[in-house]
Amino acid sequence: MPTDPTTAGADPGDGSTAYRSGFACLVGRPNAGKSTLTNALVGSKVAITSSKPQTTRHTIRGIRTTDHAQLVLVDTPGLHRPRSLLGQRLNDLVRETLLGVDVIGFCLPSDQRIGPGDTFIAGDLLDLHRVRRVPVVAIATKADAVSRDRLAEHLVAIDQLGDWSEIIPCSAVSGEQVEEVAEVLAAHLPESPPLYPADQLTDEPAVVMIAELVREAALEGVRDELPHSLAVQVEEIVPREDRPDDDPMSDVRVNVFVERPSQKAIIIGRGGSRLREVGTTARRGIEKVLGHRVYLDLHVKVAKDWQRDPKQLDRLGF
């Protein structure tokens, strides 16, 4: 039986249930709302969110700390049937991540019917549960996007898809049931002191978060073929030596890689207008990450068929 989330980790000083701490992984097919839910649970933007599917490349760990539990959230790319070497490596990354967590949240968007992709993932998760007994919580994401009748129908379909530890609907956008999702996931964590300092929100290095912010800005408003074809690499972050201590500034040089010259033209835009928009949007997020002003130097380069080339994949960090 699943643990009652209302008793998951009472104050460790009161002699009742001990503090709980551990790792939770959110999985689901591309664009299932995993990154948005991670950000809602943590209360800060730590994972890339885009209207384009398959935008999360690195496992971003968001950390949620309360008086009762510490939930370390591992956000992954969407599991899918791979069509390229990059796709296979992303799937391998997800499966490797699943082997090291205490509870899994399976995200199934309420505004989409259960499909072959969900069935594919459900089979993987049920196999993992049989081997390692990792609890799987089914989360009906984007609950605000549908009617109550459609949501009820979706929850029934999720129940028929597999034997889940819990099923819970939520909306990361409106905040509905986000706290309840956190409590349900925390209830399945082992008893343990906190793994990270209470004020830490992620263990991702700044360079990874900067690359993700640039990638997110570059993906917005472009055609569907770009998400898989776009990679970002931070070349260097150089503090300016002539700045006063109370007003530091850094030069951040970033390369954006695409596979074809036509895609480079899309990213740059007419007269460089779109690249300037990308830079302005990304710079705001980067300044929050670094805590001071930055000069962002963006370059768009063509790396032909990089997602099918093992050497280029290695060079770009995949």
* Residue stretches of the annotated binding site for GTP: 28-35, 75-79, 141-144
Q: Which helix (H) or strand (E) holds 130?
A: helix 116-132
Q: Give one DSSP letter per residue of 221-270, joined into a string.
A: T--TTHHHH-EEEEEEEEE-TTS-TTS-EEEEEEEEEESSHHHHHHHH-G
Pair of tokens at residue 102: 């205490």
CA 207 to chain centre: 16
- Widest Cα–Cα separation across the chain: 66
**How far apart are the C-alpha atoms of 170 and 151, rounded to whole Å?**
10
**How far apart are the C-alpha atoms of 106 and 126, rounded to whole Å?**
11
Q: Are strands 69-75 and 60-65 parallel, antiparallel or unpaired?
A: antiparallel
Cβ 263 vs Cβ 229: under 8 Å: yes
Annotated binding site: 28-35, 75-79, 141-144
Fill in the DSSP letter of residue 143. Answer: G
**How far apart are the C-alpha atoms of 193 and 215, rounded to whole Å?**
35
**How far apart are the C-alpha atoms of 1 and 16, rounded to whole Å?**
20
List strand residue ranges (DSSP E) for 30-80, in order: 60-65, 69-75
- In the three-class reduction of DSSP (H, G, I as helix; E, B as strand; rest coil), residue 133 is classed as coil
**How far apart are the C-alpha atoms of 176 and 169, rounded to whole Å?**
9
Cβ-based burial of 61 (10 A; exposed 0-12, middle 13-18, buried ≥19): buried
